[in-house]
A and B are shown apart, each in its own frame.
Chain A
Amino acid sequence: MNARFKDKEHLIRMGALFVGAFVLFLILRAVFVPKGFGAYGHYRAGALADNRDHALVFAGRRACEDCHSDVALVRKGSKHERIACEACHGAQSAHASADDPAAAKPKLPDAKTLCLVCHQDNVAKPKGFPQVNPKEHGDGGPCTSCHKPHHPEVS
Chain B
Amino acid sequence: MASDRREFLKTTGTFLILTGAASLAWDQILAGEPEKAPNYNMADHWWAMAIDIEKCIGCGNCVRACKAENGVLLEPFYFRTWVERYHVPEGELEHPQVDSPDGGYDGFPEKYRHGDGSKNFFVPKLCNHCAHSPCVQVCPVGATFESPDGVVLVDKSYCLGCRYCVQACPYGCRYIDPRTSTVDKCSLCYHRITRGLTTACCETCPTGARMLGDLKDPLDPIHEFLRTHKVQVLKPQMATGSKTYYNGLDGSVR
Show the binding face of A for B, using Cβ within 8 Å. 4, 7, 11, 15, 18, 22, 26, 29-30, 33-58, 60-61, 82-84, 86-88, 90-91, 117-118, 120-126, 129
Find B158's partner among A4, A47, A48 (CB 8 Å cutoff): A47
Q: Is the interface of A mostly helix, strand, loop or mixed?
A: loop
Question: Which of B34, B108, B153, B198 is A122 in contact with, Cβ under 8 Å?
Answer: B108
Are A45 and B32 in contact, CB atoms less than 8 angstroms apart?
yes
Q: A123 and B31 in contact (CB under 8 A), knowing A117-B107, A129-B57?
A: no
Complex interface: chain B residues within 8 A of A123 (CB): 110, 112-114, 120
Q: Are A60 and B206 in contact (CB under 8 A)?
A: no
Known interface pairs A124-B58, A124-B108; A50-B145 also in contact (CB < 8 Å): no
- B197 lies within 8 A of A56 (CB): yes
Tell me the complex Cα distance, A122–B86, Å. 13
A54 touches B122 (CB 8 A): no
A124 touches B147 (CB 8 A): no
Is B194 in contact with A52, judged by CB distance below 8 angstroms?
yes
Partner-binding segment picked from B61-69, B124-132, B162-170, B222-230: B61-69
Q: Bound complex: CA of A123 vs CA of B61, how far in Å? A: 18
Interface size class of B (residues with CB under 8 A): 35 or more
Partner of B112, one of A33, A57, A124: A124
Task: Report yes or no: A48 in contact with B35, Cβ–Cβ below 8 A.
Answer: yes
Q: Contacting A125 at CB < 8 Å: which of B57, B153, B194?
A: B57
Distance of A29 from chain B, by nearest CB (Å): 8
Tell me if B30 and A37 are in contact (CB < 8 A).
yes
How long is the Cα–Cα vector from A90 to B190 in the complex, in angstroms?
Answer: 20
Are the C-beta atoms of A47 and B197 separated by less than 8 Å? no
- Tell me, rounded to whole Å, the shortest Cβ–Cβ distance linking A104 to chain B: 16
Known: A11-B8, A50-B157. A87 touches B203 (CB 8 A): yes
Within 8 A of A (CB), among B41-72: 42, 54-61, 65, 68-70
| Among candidates A26, A47, A125, residue contacting B157 with C-beta atoms closer than 8 Å | A47
What would 16 A/B residue contacts be, using CB atoms closer than 8 Å? A4-B3, A29-B30, A39-B34, A41-B146, A42-B145, A44-B142, A44-B158, A45-B31, A49-B37, A52-B191, A54-B190, A57-B68, A58-B204, A84-B203, A124-B87, A126-B55
Q: B57–A35 contact, CB under 8 A? A: no
> Closest residue to A36 on the B side, CB-wise?
B32
Contacts A37-B30, A123-B114, A126-B54 known; A46 to B15 CB distance under 8 Å? no
Return chain B residues, CB-CB under 8 Å to A87. Answer: 61, 203-206
Cα A58 to Cα B70 with chains together (Å): 10
**Complex partner residue of B148 from A35, A40, A47, A60, CB under 8 angstroms:** A40
Hey, which chain A residues are within 8 Å of B157, CB to CB? 44, 47, 50
| Residues on the A chain within 8 Å of B70, using CB | 54
Contact indicator A52/B37 (Cβ below 8 Å):
yes
CB distance from A69 to the nearest CB of B (A): 19
CA A144 – CA B65 in complex, angstroms?
A: 24
Q: Which 9 A-B pairs have the closest CB atoms?
A: A47-B155, A43-B145, A124-B120, A54-B191, A42-B142, A87-B204, A51-B190, A36-B32, A43-B142
